[in-house]
Chains A and B, each alone.
Chain A
């Protein structure tokens, strides 16, 4: 036998669901009815939503996307390592480490302060421009390095905010047991700090996966570039829509998962 409260809640829920369904339906109906009446709709449909071109180009786009994933896959671990080193270097107190601390701070300031695309141009064109022999003139190498530099700077700041968020009483407890400063960092502070910033870092890594497409400006034929090639060949924008869908299939679940982790953090 449900209580009065449960009956009331149930009725409220039914009402809310009904309203949500009706209003969503109304908006969709309006879109379906109104958009095709726009004067340019026929042209847009042909240029962006051409089913035949979509079917022809999609496999090629998927294949090109493998390169995006590969670039992401070799950048991500290097970013993790470099950002951790930077975050720790920024926290070193001993005077002997002052140069290291200053270098880490400068590094983070510079690469957080520049647009990604500018770093990719400067590093990706600049360094091969020195006339280095193969394979040291590869745009893959220097493009990846650009992403690593920029994203390591962002990630380092996130990790550092995590370190700062661990209460000093944890440090005091560890030191009072006779642990060294280094062990206190490694076994007590960092594990807690890193756990705390996993959701924030996941969002950064989703952004990284998207920004891999920027490397197309210096050469690598990844998905965005491949879509551009198809567009030129077929004089049609549908391949860009295909590329967008492929990105979304990866990024939406990843974003949702990060949000879920973030929400779970709030509870504990």
Chain B
């Protein structure tokens, strides 16, 4: 097995008495695209939030490179800078333009003037066809444009890994394509990505690995060809029967 960029070992997450994640082992190689699939409520969002240290974990480890980033008491802030996250509901800052949204974190974190980051960030907007919208506020943008800005905003921090939580679920069907195109582009550029998704066709086309979450565990993990055509578990087959 290749060296993992991001890895979890026996990750456990509880909300009160309710164990949402019950021993998750993930092994994400650099440049890989991993899709998390599973029924609603199976813990996909929770897993992504744990990976980004937005939620503390109850047991197990999360390793970024060689580092155990889940060590209790560790300051999560510098670690989050290395892991980008995009949310289902975009979560752009409504009081800032698209450009300001993307500039905020680099400016505050590195404490340098905006001119330091402007060229690189303008290039990002350009790359994803958003140059015309840099100076628009979120409420002046379509859902698809907002979501692409949210991706640019996360990329502006130059993360090592990107997490995407059902980023097309809130979009009108005709806007899904433009956001998936961005993911295609990122994959082609070798970005390491983990996606929670319901877009099975997309997962099948692009994922390196598909992980099926059920009952707080990854009960099946396979390349898409095997996952979709020859699932091993009855529960996977039942899930696929429902969504395909």
Contact = CB atoms under 8 A, between A and B. Distances in A.
A binds B: yes
Interface of A: 169-170, 172-180, 183, 187-188, 191-192, 195, 268
Given A169-B89, A195-B95, A176 B80 contact: yes
Nearest to A192: B95
Given A176-B52, A187-B104, 7 more contacts: A173-B93, A173-B150, A174-B105, A176-B54, A176-B85, A178-B82, A187-B93
18 contacts: A169-B91, A172-B87, A173-B85, A173-B150, A174-B93, A175-B54, A175-B77, A176-B80, A176-B84, A176-B85, A177-B104, A178-B77, A178-B105, A179-B108, A191-B95, A192-B93, A192-B95, A268-B139
The 7 closest A-B pairs by CB, nearest first: A178-B81, A173-B91, A177-B105, A176-B85, A178-B80, A183-B108, A169-B91
Given A169-B87, A169-B89, A179 B95 contact: no
A168 to B, nearest CB: 10
A179 B154 CA distance: 12
A169 B153 CA distance: 15
Contacts of A191: 95
B78 interface: yes
A174 B94 CA distance: 12
A164 to B, nearest CB: 17
A168 B94 CA distance: 14
Interface in B66-110: 76-78, 80-85, 87, 89, 91-95, 104-105, 108-109
Given A187-B104, A187-B108, A192-B94, A175 B80 contact: yes
Nearest to B52: A176
Nearest to B139: A268
Kindly name the residue among A170, A175, A268 whose own CB sees the greatest number of chain B CB atoms within 10 A.
A175
A179 B157 CA distance: 11
A169 B157 CA distance: 19
A172 B81 contact: no
Contacts of A169: 87, 89, 91
Interface size class of B (residues with CB under 8 A): 20 to 34
Contacts, number: 65
B157 A172 contact: no
A140 B195 CA distance: 63
Nearest to A180: B77
Contact of A170 (B83, B91, B104): B91
A188 B138 CA distance: 14
Contacts of A174: 93, 105
A262 B87 CA distance: 30
Contacts of A179: 77, 104-105, 108-109
B85 A178 contact: no
A175 B139 CA distance: 22
A86 to B, nearest CB: 23
Contacts of B108: 179-180, 183, 187
A268 B94 CA distance: 11
B232 to A, nearest CB: 34
A192 B85 CA distance: 22
B94 to A, nearest CB: 7
Contacts of B139: 268
Given A172-B91, A191-B95, A177 B54 contact: no
B108 to A, nearest CB: 5
Contacts of A173: 85, 87, 91-93, 150
B159 to A, nearest CB: 9
Contacts of A177: 80-81, 84, 104-105, 109, 153-154, 157
Contacts of A175: 54, 76-77, 80
B36 to A, nearest CB: 17
A149 B131 CA distance: 49
B213 to A, nearest CB: 20
Contacts of B54: 172, 175-176
Nearest to B89: A169
Contacts of B82: 178
Nearest to B163: A176
B76 to A, nearest CB: 8
A262 B133 CA distance: 29
B10 to A, nearest CB: 24
Contacts of A187: 93, 104, 108
A180 B81 CA distance: 10
Contacts of B93: 170, 173-174, 187-188, 192
A177 B154 CA distance: 6
Contacts of A170: 91, 93
A174 B150 CA distance: 11
B5 to A, nearest CB: 18
Nearest to B91: A173
